[in-house]
Chains A and B, each alone.
Chain A
Amino acid sequence: MAAGAPLLTLSGVSKHFGGLQVINDLDFVVHESETVGLIGPNGAGKSTVFNLITSIYQPDRGSITFKGTEITGLAPHKICHMGLSRTYQLVRAFLKMSVMENVMMAAVYGVKHHEQGPKQRAAEALELVEMSHKRDVNAAHLTLSDRRLLEIAMGLSSMPSLILLDEPMAGLTEVEIQHLLEVIGTTRDERNFSILWIEHKVDAVLDFCDRVGVIDYGVKIADGCPDDVACDAKVIEAYLGEPVA
């Protein structure tokens, strides 16, 4: 519960597609060195939140600040340079490139200036996610869980202060999830960055995060410590109202 200064702030963010209001007046904060979960049923608008933060979509209303700077509408690569990196639900590592090339790419372009060279950073990031032995494997030939780890390594190599994890556990087996959680845990302790974690599966997030927000139909319905959220009537209703696939 070591919440520092606010790192990422969403205030009054709204977004609609066609006639569909996907995000409605969302306020949300991530503090320094904080691990925050964002959960919600399928289609609640979780991924859209990420796409709004990383400027893939422009919000209709509201503002997003990162490290005190307004990043609404800023080019995605500039947001990355500011120290915000993300993973994707459907892994978007570069499949035709090797693991090392993937991480190198992120290391070269992710940070503008750093005392460590990109090669060193990339190697370190791979070491952290325990994938150094697969550095010359093409990303296309990795298992799904390795691809997830690869994306995390790519994120790490850009020395972020905040990583957005987009359903990293989707499609993984129990064993793989355990491994992933361990890796994320150790790297977080090592590097001391914040995490904003979207997840469909609730239990892991409740165990792992300092704080959890819940959204449904684009509206935040709960925000607090995991135990409180788990007991919140609205949350339970949201989850039971639409059966988990």
Chain B
Amino acid sequence: MNGTRFFTRSSAYSATFSKGGFVKHKRILLIGAALMVLALVGVSLAACGDTTTTTAAPATTDTTAGTTDTTAAGVEMGDDIVIGAINSLTGSNVLTGQEEKWAQEKAASDINALGGIKLADGKMHNVVLKYYDDKSQPTEGASAMEKMIKTDGIKIALSSNITPVNQAAAQVAEKYEAYYHITSSWTDEASPDGSFPGFIGGMDLKWATDMFESAGDAGLVAIGAVNAMDEADRPTKFAVMTENTPDGVGFGDGTKAGLEAQGWEVASYEKFVEGNKDFSSIILKFKEAGVDGVVTLIAPTDGITFVKQMKEQNWAPKYLFGYKGFWPVDFYAGLGDDADYIGYDGFWSETLPYPYAKELGQAFQDEHNGNTSNSVGLYYAAAQILFTAIERAGSTDPGAVRDEVFNGTFPGTTMGDITYNDQGIADIPFLAFQWAAGGERVVLYPTEVATGKTVTFVPWEER
């Protein structure tokens, strides 16, 4: 090897190294480093305190056990009813998990404020929610369910809000005969030819129910909102773009079929990997294919990047409608005015003519800097239904509660009147919204509850 030359050269360096100049610097730098790390920790803590006072309001307490003290006058209080709640406390789905948790805790504290649930023993029982982290992953959802059933002996649970996680957890619940009250999971049944395995509806679950929409029908609200446009403004060539996840693909396939069934042309169907950073080639492809309407299922972070790059490429279709990622206020905040005229789905709106909808929306706004939510009503209603079912069953026996929900009708929830079928499925209609200029939410569809009309996505240079 070339050892010799190397030796002579580098020994010269070693001499300069040991002369001390570097050693001195090193000590200073080291002390500096230690100080910096300390400072960083300080900064982080400060920032932490900052946000907890402003945005992280829902995470105040883990359980609502505090309300046990406030007994309703005159009625004897029984033991607390402990209900499990699988939720994404960590992982990719935290954002939605937080809203769901807020709504569930709100529902529990509301019913406790009214005295709790009356069971067959004639006593009132407070509701306590115990949370289990599914870490946004199906395997962990299964683990969480195991843990709930086995370490804590809880056999009734509120669900998480992503389909695969709930599928895995429901599978476990089935094995141990625990009742899993699911919401926010595609309800689709398996296709007759077996090509599509189905989501919750395809699993033939005996111990779980689901209140949501079928992925196949979910796309219809986007189409509904198109139909609400003026004839001349309507797009003619659609692109369906979805993330390559079970949720996304179920939605994408369904939407594509739905659009084509109604006679629209779907010029492009693309599935991208979650966390994708560059959509510019796809935008170019859409541009060249003459696409003028986009329906997508996309996470908020990816959604912001997508719209930013649309603007960079100066491409504006007539119609841009996104599921999952376009509705959070943070999406609007991340894009600013550029998010104007973007359509998005929702499960709920405080403007809906249902009992307590307005108050719930207000409560959410009060605790979230005035930001609105178009989902909490669904989660709140799911909790309401479960509480009602327990009350009707008169016990916390999972089988009895389940029997109340299958084929049950639950009037007056924040989602209106909900009826489950004999498969334990309750399909709820989705809503279509649009960000009006200035960031206000406009309900587009269904037309009977619409607060505005679908507006064409205004080209960038005309803004």
Q: A residues touching B (Cβ–Cβ < 8 Å)?
A: 17-18, 20, 22, 41-43, 47-48, 242
Contacts and interface: CB of A to CB of B under 8 A. Distances in A.
20 contacts: A17-B1, A17-B2, A18-B2, A20-B2, A20-B5, A22-B1, A22-B2, A41-B4, A42-B3, A42-B4, A42-B7, A43-B2, A43-B3, A43-B4, A43-B5, A43-B7, A47-B1, A47-B3, A48-B1, A242-B4
Nearest to B6: A43
Chain B CB within 10 Å — which of A42, A43, A47, A242 has the most? A43
Interface of B: 1-5, 7
A49 to B, nearest CB: 11
Nearest to B1: A48
A18 B1 CA distance: 11
Nearest to A18: B2
Contacts of B2: 17-18, 20, 22, 43
Q: Main SS of chain B's interface residues? A: helix
Contacts of B1: 17, 22, 47-48
Given A22-B1, A47-B1, 10 more contacts: A17-B1, A17-B2, A18-B2, A22-B2, A42-B4, A43-B3, A43-B4, A43-B5, A43-B7, A47-B3
A48 B3 CA distance: 10
Q: Which 3 A-B pairs have the closest CB atoms?
A: A43-B4, A20-B2, A43-B3
Nearest to A16: B2
Nearest to A245: B7
A241 to B, nearest CB: 12
Nearest to A217: B4
Contacts of A47: 1, 3
B4 to A, nearest CB: 2
B2 to A, nearest CB: 5
A42 B3 CA distance: 8
Contacts of A22: 1-2
Nearest to A44: B4
Contacts of A41: 4
A26 to B, nearest CB: 15
Contacts of A48: 1
Contacts of A242: 4
A20 B2 CA distance: 7
Contacts of B5: 20, 43
A81 B435 CA distance: 76
A18 B3 CA distance: 13
A42 B1 CA distance: 10
A42 B4 CA distance: 6
Contacts of B4: 41-43, 242
A128 B133 CA distance: 65
A17 B7 CA distance: 16
Nearest to A43: B4
Contacts of B3: 42-43, 47
Nearest to B4: A43
Contacts of B7: 42-43
A9 B377 CA distance: 87
Contacts of A43: 2-5, 7
B197 to A, nearest CB: 50
A17 B4 CA distance: 13
A15 B7 CA distance: 20
Nearest to A19: B2
A43 B6 CA distance: 10
Contacts of A17: 1-2
A160 B2 CA distance: 30
A177 to B, nearest CB: 23
A42 to B, nearest CB: 5
